[in-house]
């Protein structure tokens, strides 16, 4: 059992690793070399990785794959994808190729506003508070001028500061709801720094506002923080073609396919249990690209799922329709992404990913990421409404099972041939390997 330790963060990486190995593993001589296997041989590169977070003992690698043949707004792309799930890159590539022959994907940014809030408690008259906030609006902007000057040069900055009365939800609770445009940066640090200055101005000015009594001057700031919910930083991706043009080797009857496809989408629109899995498929594509480009996939996930529940019930992010013989499939996603700052300028593979995409600005990256999500969703729904999801997924998963049991090259060849005509399952693979090894 591990005992409490002090000063762990100040230990060297070797000391941390030795403690982990001897405290939690029965054979330290086996685990230490394994962990060190994942250290980068380039010392400068390893030092860079070590300093991304605290208490680093090694690196954890995920596959970096690419999905070619994406046409987005009439431009060709190969998408970088970082993900461990076996079928995701294959599905994205297949979807890209399908729509390559049908006009490709379209994408447009609907808005780019991001939100930060100063949360505070005020026990007094709301009208008096509103007059106070109006009176110091210019002070908020002047006190943040030094912080926003570079962003303003790029066309961004603080757009507006609004007082919001939240007392129906929580007694005496108000907020300053601040809208930002952070241009090509995700902007988290910029937003939070500005918010803290706005909070400081609020606390200073409340003490000298002559209309307030002593109780009202006790206005207390609780916290100042950006929001990862960005419904006004939104992008739309879509595909569209004549129903007849959907015919392919897997779609013999386009009309029947479209009817079933749209019904599958509508089920996800009204049934939360289905919608969660439906949207998870979208995020397979989104997260893989967000990770590859050094963006915060956790923030994206949180914001997207809040958006999916914005009307009071969790629902599908994507939608489909047929009008005048034209099939259209689309989604809207809130995406706060950056192409400058953070890991984008530090992580070597992030630089390669962005170069692969043609060094997009933030708005172009929003479009590309939304398309990745739509492509993934189309591939999943196409499989679900035709051959079934497991046929393709389990054949990709076959490799992982064979690796798990250290299959030889001959065993792999036999397994591939066998499962061309048989259903892949973990038990079936184990049974086959046992028979081959007798």
**Pair (103, 25) in one structural domain:** no
Strand pairing partners for 239?
Answer: 329
Rounded Cα distance between 78 and 354, Å, is: 11
**Pair (80, 100) in one structural domain:** yes
pLDDT of 3 strictly over 80? no
For 134-161, letters b (16+ CB in 10 Å) and e give: eebeeebeebbeebbeebeeeebbbeeb
Length of the chain equals 438
How many other C-beta atoms are found inside a 10 Å radius of the C-beta of residue 222? 12
pLDDT of residue 79: 98
Kindly tell me the burial class for residue 70, based on how many C-beta atoms sit within 10 Å of its own C-beta (0-12, 13-18, 19 or more).
buried
pLDDT of residue 401: 84
Mean predicted lDDT score pLDDT of the chain? 94
Residue 328, in any domain of the structure: yes
pLDDT of residue 143: 98
Domain boundary among 182, 198, 226: 226
Residue 334, in any domain of the structure: yes
pLDDT of residue 77: 98
Model's pTM, two decimal places? Answer: 0.88
Cα 339 versus chain centre, distance: 14
**Pair (124, 211) in one structural domain:** yes
Check residue 71 and give left, alpha or beta (phi > 0: left; psi -120 to 50: alpha): beta
pLDDT tens digit sequence for 138-168: 999 999 999 999 999 999 999 999 999 999 9
pLDDT of residue 394: 63
pLDDT of residue 389: 58
The more confidently predicted of residues 250 and 141 is 141
pLDDT of 392 strictly over 60? no
Residue 238 sits in a domain whose CATH number is 3.90.770.10
The boundaries of the domain holding residue 397 are: 392-437
**Pair (262, 376) in one structural domain:** yes
pLDDT of residue 179: 98
Residue 59, in any domain of the structure: no
pLDDT of 402 strictly over 70? yes
Nearest Cα residue to 147 out of 182, 184, 186: 182
Residue 191, in any domain of the structure: yes
pLDDT tens digit sequence for 319-350: 999 999 999 999 999 999 999 987 787 899 99
By DSSP bridging, strand 234-242 and strand 106-109 are antiparallel
Residue 2, in any domain of the structure: no
> In angstroms, what CA-CA distances link 22 with 165, 202, 370?
55, 52, 46
Name the band, by pLDDT with cuts 50, 70 and 90, for residue 408.
confident
Check: CB of residue 278 under 8 Å from CB of residue 272. Answer: no
Residue 138 sits in a domain whose CATH number is 3.30.70.420
Q: Could you give the residue numbers annotated as active site? A: 85, 280, 296, 393
* Helices of type H across 293-388: 297-308, 348-356, 362-384
Name the band, by pLDDT with cuts 50, 70 and 90, for residue 415.
confident
How many other C-beta atoms are found inside a 10 Å radius of the C-beta of residue 62? 12
Rounded Cα distance between 313 and 309, Å, is: 5
Residue 1, in any domain of the structure: no
**Pair (238, 356) in one structural domain:** yes
Rounded Cα distance between 184 and 337, Å, is: 8
% the chain with pLDDT above 70:
97
pLDDT of residue 395: 63
- What DSSP letter does each residue of 169-236 carry, written as one string? TSTTEEEEEEEEE-TTB--HHHHHHHHHHHHHHHHHHHTT-TT--TTGGG-EEEEEEE-S--TTSEEE
**Pair (281, 340) in one structural domain:** yes
Mean pLDDT of 373-377: 98
Coil vs helix vs strand at 75: strand
**Pair (261, 371) in one structural domain:** yes
pLDDT tens digit sequence for 106-144: 999 999 999 999 999 999 999 999 999 999 999 999 999
Of the given ranges (45-54, 293-302, 409-418), which has the lowest mean pLDDT? 409-418
pLDDT tens digit sequence for 12-54: 999 999 999 999 999 888 999 999 999 999 999 999 999 999 9
pLDDT of residue 47: 92
Which DSSP letter does residue 86 get?
A: T
Q: Which strand ranges, in their side-by-side order, compose the sheet holding 220-226?
A: 157-165, 173-181, 114-121, 220-226
**Pair (325, 408) in one structural domain:** no
pLDDT of residue 419: 79
**Pair (383, 302) in one structural domain:** yes
Of the given ranges (131-135, 398-402, 431-435), which has the lowest mean pLDDT? 398-402
**Pair (134, 238) in one structural domain:** no
Domain boundary among 173, 202, 226: 226
Residue 56, in any domain of the structure: no
Contacts of 170 (CB under 8 A, 6+ apart): none
Domain boundary among 226, 251, 266: 226
Check: CB of residue 315 under 8 Å from CB of residue 270. Answer: yes
**Pair (280, 361) in one structural domain:** yes
Coil vs helix vs strand at 311: coil
Mean pLDDT of 258-284: 98
Name the band, by pLDDT with cuts 50, 70 and 90, for residue 421.
confident
* Number of structural domains found in the chain: 4
**Pair (265, 355) in one structural domain:** yes
Mean pLDDT of 294-307: 97
Mean pLDDT of 357-384: 97
Can you list the pairs that 14-21 forms with residues at least 24 positions away whose Cβ atoms lie under 8 Å? 16/55, 16/57, 17/57, 17/58, 20/57
Nearest Cα residue to 117 out of 222, 39, 227: 227
% the chain with pLDDT above 90:
82
pLDDT of residue 174: 98
Name the band, by pLDDT with cuts 50, 70 and 90, for residue 396.
low
Residue 143, in any domain of the structure: yes
């Amino acid at each position: 059992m591990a005992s409490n330790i002090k000063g762990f963060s100040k230990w060297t990486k070797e000391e941390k690793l030795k403690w982990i190995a001897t405290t939690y593993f029965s054979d330290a001589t086996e685990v230490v070399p394994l962990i060190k296997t994942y250290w980068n041989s380039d010392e400068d590169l390893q030092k860079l990785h070590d300093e991304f977070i605290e208490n680093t003992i090694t690196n954890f690698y995920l596959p970096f794959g690419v999905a070619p043949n994406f046409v987005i707004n009439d431009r060709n792309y190969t998408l970088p994808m970082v993900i461990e799930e076996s079928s995701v890159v294959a599905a994205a590539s297949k979807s890209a190729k399908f729509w390559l022959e049908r006009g490709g994907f379209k994408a447009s940014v609907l808005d780019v506003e991001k939100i930060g809030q100063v949360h505070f408690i005020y026990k007094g008259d709301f009208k008096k508070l509103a007059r106070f906030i109006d009176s110091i609006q210019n002070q908020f902007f002047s006190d943040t001028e030094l912080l926003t000057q570079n962003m303003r040069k790029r066309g961004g900055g603080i757009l507006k500061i609004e007082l919001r009365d939240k007392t129906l939800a929580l007694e005496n609770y108000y907020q300053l709801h601040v809208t930002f445009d952070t241009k090509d940066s995700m902007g988290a640090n910029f937003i939070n720094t500005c918010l803290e200055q706005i909070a400081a101005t609020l606390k200073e000015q409340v003490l000298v506002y002559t209309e307030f009594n002593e109780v009202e001057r006790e206005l207390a700031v609780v916290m100042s923080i950006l929001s990862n919910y960005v419904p006004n930083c939104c992008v739309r991706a879509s595909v569209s073609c004549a129903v007849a043009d959907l015919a392919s080797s897997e779609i013999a009857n386009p009309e029947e396919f479209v009817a079933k496809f749209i019904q599958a989408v509508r089920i996800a629109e009204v049934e939360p249990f289905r919608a969660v899995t439906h949207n998870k498929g979208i995020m397979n594509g989104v997260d893989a690209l967000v990770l590859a480009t050094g963006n915060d996939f956790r923030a994206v996930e949180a914001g997207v799922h809040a958006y999916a529940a914005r009307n009071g019930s969790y629902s599908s992010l994507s939608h489909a329709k047929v009008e005048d013989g034209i099939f259209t499939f689309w989604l809207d996603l809130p995406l706060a992404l950056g192409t400058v700052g953070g890991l984008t300028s530090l992580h070597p593979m992030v630089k390669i990913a962005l170069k692969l995409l043609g060094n997009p600005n933030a708005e172009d990256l929003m479009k590309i990421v939304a398309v990745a999500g739509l492509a993934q969703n189309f591939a999943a729904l196409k499989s679900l409404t035709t051959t079934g999801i497991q046929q393709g997924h389990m054949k990709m998963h076959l490799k992982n099972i064979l690796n798990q049991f250290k299959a030889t090259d001959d065993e792999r060849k036999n397994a591939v041939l066998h499962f061309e005509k048989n259903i892949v399952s973990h038990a079936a693979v184990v049974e086959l390997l046992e028979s081959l090894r007798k």
